[in-house]
Chain A
Amino acid sequence: MTAAIELNGVSKWFGDFQALNSVSLSVAQGDKVVICGPSGSGKSTAIRCVNRLEKHEEGIIRVDGIKLDDTTVSQVRQEVGMVFQQFNLFPHLSVLNNLTLGPIRARGLSKTEAQDRAMAYLERVHIPEQAGKYPKQLSGGQQQRVAIARSLCMEPKILLFDEPTSALDPEMISEVLEVMVELADSGMTMIVVTHEMGFARKVADTMVFMDQGQIVETADPETFFGQPRTERCQRFLKQILQH
Chain B
Amino acid sequence: MNKNVNRVLLIVAVGLFLSGCGQGWGWYVVDPSTKSGWINLKFLMSGFWYTILLSFVSLLIAIPIGLLVALPGFSKNPFLRGFNRTYVELIRALPVLVAILWIHYGLPTLFPSIDLTVFWSGVIALSICETAFLAEIFRAGIQSIPKGQTEAAQSISLSYFDRMYYVILPQALRRILPAIGNQFVYMLKMSSLVSVIGMGELVRKANELAVTEYRALEIYSVLVLEYLVLILVVSAGVRWLEKKLGADESQ
The count of A-to-B residue pairs whose CB atoms sit within 8 angstroms is 73
CB within 8 Å for A92 and B249 given contacts A86-B148, A106-B162: yes
Question: Does B251 interact with chain A (Cβ within 8 Å)?
Answer: yes
Bound: A198/B156 CA distance, A: 29
**Interfacial chain A residues near B63, Cβ < 8 Å:** none
Bound: A134/B158 CA distance, A: 21
User: In the complex, what's the smallest C-beta–C-beta distance from B246 to chain A, in angstroms?
Assistant: 10
Cβ–Cβ contact A102 & B157, under 8 A: yes
Cβ–Cβ contact B249 & A101, under 8 A: no
Question: Does A154 interact with chain B (Cβ within 8 Å)?
Answer: yes
**Interfacial chain B residues near A80, Cβ < 8 Å:** 155
Q: Which of B105-113, B167-175, B221-229 contacts A (4 or more CB under 8 A)?
A: B167-175
Cβ–Cβ contact A53 & B151, under 8 A: yes
Cβ–Cβ contact A81 & B155, under 8 A: yes
Question: Does B102 interact with chain A (Cβ within 8 Å)?
Answer: no
- Residues from 76 to 102 in A contacting B, C-beta threshold 8 Å: 77-78, 80-82, 84, 86, 88-92, 101-102
Q: Binary interface profile of B, 149-193, with partner A (CB < 8 Å = 1, else 0)? A: 101111111110010001100110010000000000000000000
User: In the complex, what's the smallest C-beta–C-beta distance from A211 to chain B, in angstroms?
Assistant: 25
Cβ–Cβ contact B158 & A106, under 8 A: yes
Cβ–Cβ contact B151 & A88, under 8 A: yes
Bound: A74/B166 CA distance, A: 18
Question: Does B248 interact with chain A (Cβ within 8 Å)?
Answer: yes
Question: Does A202 interact with chain B (Cβ within 8 Å)?
Answer: no
CB within 8 Å for A84 and B157 given contacts A90-B167, A92-B171, A101-B166: no
User: In the complex, what's the smallest C-beta–C-beta distance from A108 to chain B, in angstroms?
Assistant: 11
Interfacial residues, chain A to chain B (CB-CB below 8 A): 51, 53, 74, 77-78, 80-82, 84, 86, 88-92, 101-102, 105-107, 134, 136-137, 147, 150-151, 153-154
The 9 closest A-B pairs by CB, nearest first: A102-B156, A88-B152, A106-B157, A88-B148, A82-B155, A105-B162, A77-B157, A92-B170, A53-B151
Pick 5 A–B contacts, CB within 8 A, sort by A: A101-B158, A101-B166, A102-B158, A134-B249, A153-B156
